[in-house]
Structure 1
Amino acid sequence: MSIDLVVPENVELTTLLDELRKLSWAAADVLMAYARGQEPPYGFPKSLTIEEGGDGPVSAADMAVNELLISGLKDNFTFQDWDILSEETTKEKTFHRTNYKKDWCWILDPLDGTKDFLQGSENYAVHIALAHKKKPKIGLVLIPERNELWVGIIGSGAWCENRNGFKKDISFSERLDISELVLVSSKNHQQSTLLNLLSTLSFSKTKRIGSVGCKVASILRGESDVYISLSGKTAPKDWDMAAPHALIEAAGGMFSHADGANLIYQKSDYSQSGCLIASHGKSHLNICKKAMKFFSKEEPKFKV
């Protein structure tokens, strides 16, 4: 795949990645300072405030990283023909969904796994994705507490690097049979339909980790093999999925609806509803087939 399909023609990929590295590790410094009760850098307020928003707790850390990322993207690139969609900006009164119509769009989650972050867990992440015509092309998942920056470029591959620039290749597991696969699942979101589906699929065991980015990183390390998201009363949003989606596909894995349909981004409600399955790809079609058999028999009204 040529570079001009993953970045705009007048944006240099290497320069873009260098800037994203700087922004990512700056975000790590901010989040880790808040996590430890220390004075955050770059002039952000020290107090960690918590308020319940429509989709969960929002902290000063979320807002600080949101400001850092957006200002960094705006200040360091002359190319202006892209939108910037962030979880935090969609909650602002001045936000207008109809303004987000450009071909290129940044999709950001300044702090994925806020509950884990507030509980003192290391399983929180920063998601940065660049999408073109509603499809993610570049995905970065930063896991500060593990000193990991996962980078995926569709058509070019994926890798993990630390703050010093040392790179590691992706290491998918060799597990193939569904009965051997390890599921990575949420600690905070469980519902009866999902539990029944998982009982039918009968994976060998389950690891519980917060943050979609951290779950996908677990698959990329070979610690687990598959992640399943099932929407209930609420559904995940673009910013939860875009960066992990680009990352795992760039690595050679798969991320789709249970019926094999692609995830589509920048819809009017930015919702990623249905049954979404991410995996190392080797058993993906079999997982989807077995899941669809479950829905056909047990939950025929569920829109996968």
Structure 2
Amino acid sequence: MHGRRLATTDEIIAVVSPDSEDALERLERWTDDRELRLAVVDVGRDISDVYTEDRPTLGVTIGGDGTFLEGIKTFAPRGIPLLGVNTGTLSFLARVEPDELEDALEEALRGRAVVDSRQQLHVSARGVDATGINDVTLEHVLPENPVNRKITRLHVFANDEYVGEFEGSGLAVSTPTGSTGLSLSANGPVHYPVNNESLQLVPLHTHQLGVRPVVMAPSTELRIVTGGRASLLVDGGRAHTILRENEEVLVTGADRHAHIVRTSYDDHFFTAITKKLGWDVRGEDDAGPDASAAPAPLSRNGADEGEDLVERARVLAEEVAQSAGEPLRELHGRVESITVKTDKADIVTEADHQANRIITTAIANEFPDHGIFSEEGGRIEADGPYTWVIDPLDGTGNFAHGNPNYAVSVALVEERYPVVGVVYVPETDELFSAVAGGEATENETPLSTTDRDRLDESMLLSGYDPDGSFLSNFYQEARGVRRLGSAALNLCYLASGSADAVWEYDTYPWDVAAGLVIARAAGARITNAAGEPFTFDFETGSRKMLLGSNGPLHPALLEHLEAGVVDR
């Protein structure tokens, strides 16, 4: 999950531990001041009565790590991001102190926080079917008679490959988030949990000196067979059972990740372990030699001009396009299974609305003096020269039919000239990006158009072709004519060399604003049907013909267009 998506939050659900009244009062005042809905639930209680599905929601826990783990158990299955406020003592997970609660929330709701997607694990056994973010432990059950055996034997298989017999106090399977204490106790590594997907098998007080923790992929299926009675706990007791001899436990990485909100007011991971574990590599207050060179916040309230502003706008455009792509991808998965036309229309409308809200809210936060012109949301005027031109869902027809050829298009226009263009394809995770006069990239790989000059060697893309004249005039002449159903994608694929030319019978400004920047930066030539330079105009919002090519192919295209494709 991208942090920019938090900018649309309109509801906070707080899971609160006892003795946290002061922090809760601060949260209540803050949400009242911003007219945000707040629901408060005691730790351990269900939130079903206060949670509304598909409403932009932020989860907050107020307590220690135990409360935070309860929050994960509550929020992660619903895909709700979680921010932890620490009112406990020894806390590795909830890292925002109560005195900084308001500042941390302000940063999150302005879309400037980071959301870590943390690997979870899933465990199933007799009486247990649970998900955890820390670990699952299997330990020996103490005998009633103190002279009886006090160790356990556990047989472990990884994807049906026999790992071996673990004899001792037991073992744990931990995620990167839950690796710290248990791994250290077994002379294993501490895992940096950010963007780390793995599982670690950790022996507990093993009787074999050579046995060490083993790290494996989260897709690994661990099968553990008990050699006697064993106590199974998930995340310190969030799920628990007593197993008998020769029972099986299955552990693997969970399909759903937990989304944890991190702000600049958190203690960072290595700061936390330095303070709490006596990490010797750095002191508690040592931020490192480059701390003074930390980047400034993205928003400077429009104070900067020129290249710096354009580059900051490009970064923002990439972030908001990817953030908007998340709910589109989620809703696209739902629309594929729906057969009722009206229900599909409702989902497409919701997709347009959610994507547009994410983009426009983040832009308004970062560049409040800029105008916004969106297909979905209309126009917000501005006094300055900059206007954002947005199509939150280009390829609506494709989206409605479960077709993956749809995109998010975000452009910044200076006066009447597009200077920043970003197009994001949610289903394939392709991110096209460029600034005017700069380099076009796809996922940071430079793009360049082809150099073909012969129609019979060229692949063409067609947009709306009302009477089929473009197809009929070019189909026999070219290597192929394809129609994707998205003008933004057509221009990006021209830029990447996947096609040699693009024809659009008519285009709206939001269809092509971002794609124009990307295609031109990659070397494309863009004209109208008469070969005159294509002029971008969002003031009137009128439709315009567009012919784009790699450049060398343009004369041949214009010649065939004169044969009757358009009436000029």
Q: Aligned partners of 1:28, 1:145: CA distance in 2, in Å?
A: 8
Q: Which amino acid aligns with 1:142?
A: Y
Counterpart of 2:397 in structure 1 is 115
Counterpart of 1:158 in structure 2 is 440
Counterpart of 1:164 in structure 2 is none
Note closer, same or farther for the CA distance 1:268–1:35 as it changes in structure 2 (3 Å cut).
same
**Greater Cα offset, 11-20 or 217-226:** 11-20
Counterpart of 1:269 in structure 2 is 540
Counterpart of 1:254 in structure 2 is 525
Q: Aligned partners of 2:496, 2:522: CA distance in 1, in Å?
A: 11
Partners of 1:34 and 1:48 within 8 A in 2: no
Counterpart of 2:474 in structure 1 is 198
Q: How many angstroms does 1:196 deviate by? A: 4.4
SS at match of 2:334: coil
Question: What's the TM-score, normalizing by structure 1?
Answer: 0.75
**What does residue range 68-217 of structure 1 map to in structure 2 within 5 Å?**
68-78=358-368, 80=369, 82-90=370-378, 99=381, 103-161=385-443, 167-186=444-463, 189-198=465-474, 202-217=477-492
Q: How many angstroms does 1:179 deviate by? A: 2.0
1:50 aligns with 2:325: no
Q: Aligned partners of 1:245, 1:8: CA distance in 2, in Å?
A: 22
Q: Which amino acid aligns with 2:529?
A: A
**Greater Cα offset, 190-199 or 109-118:** 190-199
Note closer, same or farther for the CA distance 1:74–1:100 as it changes in structure 2 (3 Å cut).
closer
Q: How many angstroms does 1:36 deviate by? A: 1.5
Partners of 1:129 and 1:139 within 8 A in 2: yes
Q: Percent identity?
A: 23
Question: What's the TM-score, normalizing by structure 2?
Answer: 0.42
Counterpart of 1:284 in structure 2 is 554
Partners of 1:49 and 1:60 within 8 A in 2: no
Note closer, same or farther for the CA distance 1:15–1:130 as it changes in structure 2 (3 Å cut).
closer
Q: Aligned partners of 2:393, 2:457: CA distance in 1, in Å?
A: 32
Q: How many angstroms does 1:104 deviate by? A: 2.0
Note closer, same or farther for the CA distance 1:267–1:172 as it changes in structure 2 (3 Å cut).
closer
Aligned CA-pair RMSD: 2.8
**Greater Cα offset, 136-145 or 258-267:** 258-267
**Greater Cα offset, 25-34 or 108-117:** 25-34
SS at match of 1:139: strand
Note closer, same or farther for the CA distance 1:251–1:146 as it changes in structure 2 (3 Å cut).
same
**Greater Cα offset, 203-212 or 101-110:** 101-110
Note closer, same or farther for the CA distance 1:268–1:15 as it changes in structure 2 (3 Å cut).
closer
Note closer, same or farther for the CA distance 1:241–1:100 as it changes in structure 2 (3 Å cut).
farther
Note closer, same or farther for the CA distance 1:260–1:75 as it changes in structure 2 (3 Å cut).
same
Note closer, same or farther for the CA distance 1:258–1:100 as it changes in structure 2 (3 Å cut).
farther
Q: How many angstroms does 1:154 deviate by? A: 1.3
Q: Aligned partners of 1:150, 1:48: CA distance in 2, in Å?
A: 32
1:59 aligns with 2:363: no
Match for residue 223 of structure 1 among 475, 487, 498: 498
Q: Aligned partners of 2:470, 2:496: CA distance in 1, in Å?
A: 25
Q: Aligned partners of 1:268, 1:169: CA distance in 2, in Å?
A: 32
Counterpart of 1:17 in structure 2 is 314
Q: Aligned partners of 2:524, 2:414: CA distance in 1, in Å?
A: 20
Q: How many angstroms does 1:20 deviate by? A: 2.1
SS at match of 1:206: strand
Q: How many angstroms does 1:181 deviate by? A: 1.0
Which structure has more relative contact order (CA 8 Å, sep 6+)? It is 1
Note closer, same or farther for the CA distance 1:13–1:265 as it changes in structure 2 (3 Å cut).
closer
Q: Which amino acid aligns with 2:320?
A: L
SS at match of 1:146: coil
Note closer, same or farther for the CA distance 1:260–1:150 as it changes in structure 2 (3 Å cut).
same
Counterpart of 1:34 in structure 2 is 331
Q: Aligned partners of 1:192, 1:100: CA distance in 2, in Å?
A: 41
Q: Aligned partners of 1:85, 1:146: CA distance in 2, in Å?
A: 26
Partners of 1:259 and 1:289 within 8 A in 2: no
Counterpart of 1:44 in structure 2 is none
SS at match of 1:105: strand
Q: Aligned partners of 1:84, 1:267: CA distance in 2, in Å?
A: 11
- Give the length in aligned residue pairs: 259
Q: Which amino acid aligns with 1:127?
A: S
Partners of 1:255 and 1:277 within 8 A in 2: yes
Note closer, same or farther for the CA distance 1:190–1:11 as it changes in structure 2 (3 Å cut).
same
Q: Aligned partners of 2:532, 2:305: CA distance in 1, in Å?
A: 26
Q: Which amino acid aligns with 1:182?
A: M
Counterpart of 1:42 in structure 2 is none
Note closer, same or farther for the CA distance 1:267–1:197 as it changes in structure 2 (3 Å cut).
farther
Q: How many angstroms does 1:138 deviate by? A: 1.4
Larger Rg: 2
SS at match of 1:219: helix
Counterpart of 2:104 in structure 1 is none
Q: Which amino acid aligns with 1:218?
A: Y
**Greater Cα offset, 65-74 or 209-218:** 209-218
Partners of 2:451 and 2:551 within 8 A in 1: no
Q: How many angstroms does 1:101 deviate by? A: 7.6
Q: How many angstroms does 1:151 deviate by? A: 0.6
Q: Which amino acid aligns with 1:214?
A: L
More strand by share: 2
Counterpart of 1:237 in structure 2 is 508
Note closer, same or farther for the CA distance 1:217–1:268 as it changes in structure 2 (3 Å cut).
closer
